[in-house]
Amino acid sequence: MARLNINGKFFNLTVDGDTPLLWAIREQAGLTGTKYGCGVAQCGACSVHINGEVQRSCAVAVKDVKPTDKIITIEGLSPSGTHPVQKAWLALEVAQCGYCQTGQIMAAAALLKKKPKPTDADIDDAMTNICRCGTYQRIRAGIKLAADGGVASKAKG
């Protein structure tokens, strides 16, 4: 049994303590926007925010998450889907197959929270998620667009 705060809502989940958070989110909480890619914290498809920090949820056991820890998944990043990163991703058509993009968006959103104007080196360091479609160039452009005041300011100016 685990009590988790996901996207501001409490879930009482019937799950073993060693279950990775990823699978509790996907299978018990039913939020499938967080993806399974490798299970060994390599690909980043399972990225979520825990207390504002981006974490690979496949490598976090449910027993290590406290009910007071605030977990945010892609579904909770912005209720209307209009986080500046999401808007930039839409404007630049970043996604191809899209499978890794929820994780990429979570990683990018966490980066921008820490570094509102990231350098290329900051982006290289923070964005270690794998995209097999190879959307890296547009991801970088998307982060810069979001950092630069986002889609709205670009449209004006």
Angle subtended at Cα 69 by Cα 36 and Cα 61, rounded to the nearest 5 degrees? 40
Number of amino acids touching another protein (CB under 8 A): 55
The answer to whether the CB of 33 falls within 8 A of the CB of 73 is yes
The whole-angstrom distance between residue 129's C-alpha and the CA centroid of its chain comes to 10
Shortest Å, Cβ 118 to another protein: 12
Q: Which is nearer to another protein, 68 or 121 (CB)?
A: 121
Backbone angles phi, psi at 76, to 5 degrees: -105, 0
Q: Is 116 in the site for another protein (CB under 8 A)?
A: no
Nearest to 106 by CA among 4, 5, 7: 7
Q: Which helix (H) or strand (E) holds 3?
A: strand 2-6
CB of 146 to another protein, least distance (A): 12
Contact flag: residue 150 with another protein (CB under 8 A): no
**Binding track over 32-51 against another protein, x by CB under 8 A:** xxxxxxxxx-xx-x------
**Residues lying near another protein in the complex (CB under 8 A):** 15-16, 19-20, 23, 27-28, 30-40, 42-43, 45, 73-75, 81, 86, 89-90, 93, 95-102, 105, 123-125, 127-140
